[in-house]
Each structure stands twice: as C-alpha cells, then as structure tokens.
Structure 1
Amino acid sequence: MADKITTHWKRDMVFESDNPRWDSIMMDASKDFGGTDSGMAPKAMMLSSLAGCSGLDVVSVLNKMRVKFDDFKMEVEGELTDEHPKYYHRVTVDYHFYGKKLNEKKINNAVDLSVDKYCGVMEMFRQFAEVKTNIHLHEK
C-alpha cells in the first residue's frame, strides 16, 4: 500500500501539505532564505517524524508490558553535512522517561524493539546517517 500526499505552494516560501489522516501542515523556510517562519522546516519535520515513529512504538510496547510512567519525551538532534545537498549525517535520539519506580529493563527493551525492529523511519535514517540513541530515566 502506498501513501500519497499533496503539497501546494501557498505564497512566498510557504507550502501546505495534506496528510492521509489529519489536517494539513504548513512548511516554510526561515527568514534567512526568504520565508516567513510560518511553518515547520522540512528537515526539522523529518526529525519530528523519527521521534513520532519511535515514540508510537515505545508507548505501544510499554502499554502491552503494563509499564507505568508519568511522562515521556524524546529529543532528536540532527547534524547536517557542510556541502549541498545538506542532509543529516549524524542523528542522536534521547529518550527521557519520568516517573516513580521506572522499570529500566522493560523500558530499555521497548526502546530497543523500536530502534532495531519496528520503526521504519529509524531504518530510513540509518540509510544515510549514523544514528545514536540514549535512554534517560528520571525518577521522581
């Protein structure tokens, strides 16, 4: 099954892209490149897609394992190449879990399953970037 989206130029450097399951999203260049900063940068959107894909996996696996946590966030940092076309050649994903009596073994297992088996966006990134992951447990 193929995904299909339509991206429509709105004005200046602003584009609107639909989504098969949600309202559209706006993309724009920074003011340095003639944009208006009124939408998400396309490359940053790639990092958000990586976090979203892996995060969905992790939460799903942890729910099946009945692992409790109060909060969960991911910080994704991408380093661009110096030459054009600039692309992410190094990416770091930091997984942060917050709560009481966090089950380190199960959390590590859930993240590993996402990183190594389930997250298709992670696999796509590995085709062109060195991807590192870190897990941080924040006990309350």
Structure 2
Amino acid sequence: MSTINHITTKWLGNMTFESNNTSGQSFKIDIAKEDGGDGSGLRPKSLMLSALAGCSGLDVAGLIKKMKLEVDEFHIETIANLTDEHPKFYDKVVVEYHFHGSNLDEKKLQRAIDLSVEKYCGVMEMFRQFAELEVKTVFHKK
C-alpha cells in the first residue's frame, strides 16, 4: 500500500511562491534579487539539501534517543556540486555528520548513521538515483 502526499504551491507574484507541507506548515520559495526575485524565500535546490539532511538527521536523532547515547551537539554539513549545464542538478553530494561531546560512543553513532543511510532515509535513496553520495563522520571530543 502506498501513501499519497499532496501539497499546494501558490504563486504570490514576481518570483515568489508559497508552498504548504504535509505537516500543515508553509514556507516561501523565491530566487535572489540579482536573478529577478525578491530574495524573500528559500531556494528550491537548497531545500533539497535541507530535506536530505533533515531526513537522515531525524533518523539519527531517533536512534541517539533510542540507544540513550550522550551527544552534546549534532549537526550535518551537506556540500553539493551543481552541474554547469541546464538543467542544473546535484551530481555529487557529501553528507558530513558532526558529533560533539566528551563521552561519544563512536561505534554506536556510526551504526545510527549507517542505518539511516542504508535503510531508513527515503530522501537519501532518492538522491542515489541522480547523484554520487559520500558520507563522512566527524567526532569532536571535548
């Protein structure tokens, strides 16, 4: 059985759109002033990178909680190469998981990342269809 997601994206004028989300929240999409927009919203391609980091981050955060791991800070750096020719797309993406803390269980944290990357994160699987993915883990011990 499949799930249908339906969102509505409405033109607000010039190059600005407002899009809702299955959570009931909404946000603006726009382009930079130098490209003819108002610079008042999020960029579509950057949103894809946020979706990738957010999807995997939620998996990892859930596993940190489930495994009762000690992590002071956790963030994800997503660095993507955009092709030069139109239609421009991300062909190479590096996802770096950064953990900070004095008592990091590196083995279990790496397992959490592996589960997200290989099994749970649907956005990661979508990216695999068009981009070369590289995953890195960085432990910052205090």
TM-score > 0.5 by shorter chain: yes
Work out the percentage of aligned pairs sharing the same amino acid.
Answer: 53
| 1:15 paired residue number | 17
Structure 1 residue aligned with 2:126: 124
Count of residue pairs brought into register by the alignment = 140
What letter matches 1:23 in structure 2?
A: Q
Match of 2:74 in 1: 72
Q: Secondary structure at the match of 2:25?
A: strand
**Separation in 1, partners of 2:85, 2:141:** 42
- Which residue does 2:38 correspond to in 1? 36
> Hey, what's the Cα distance between the residues in 1 that align with 2:64 and 2:25?
28
Tell me how far apart the structure 1 counterparts of residues 30 and 6 of structure 2 sit (CA, whole Å). 20
What amino acid is aligned across from residue 64 of structure 1 in structure 2?
K
Hey, what does 1:137 align to over in structure 2? 139
1:63 maps to which residue? 65
Q: What are the superposed Cα offsets for residues 97-138 of structure 1, whole Å, 9 maximum, x if unpaired?
A: 111110000000000100011000000000000010110111
CA distance in 2, matches of 1:127, 1:32: 32
Write the letter of the residue equivalent to 1:33. Answer: D
Q: Quick one: which of 107, 110, 117 aligns to 1:108?
A: 110
* TM-score, L = length of structure 1: 0.97
Unpaired segments of 5 or more residues in structure 1?
A: none
SS of 1:22's equivalent in the other structure is: coil
Distance (whole Å) between structure 2 residues aligned to residue 31 and residue 95 of structure 1 = 32
Alignment RMSD (CA, Å): 0.8
CA distance in 1, matches of 2:96, 2:57: 11
**Structure 1: which 4+ aligned runs deviate by more than 4 Å?**
none
Please say if 1:85 is aligned against 2:92.
no
C-alpha distance in 2, partners of 1:6/1:123? 24
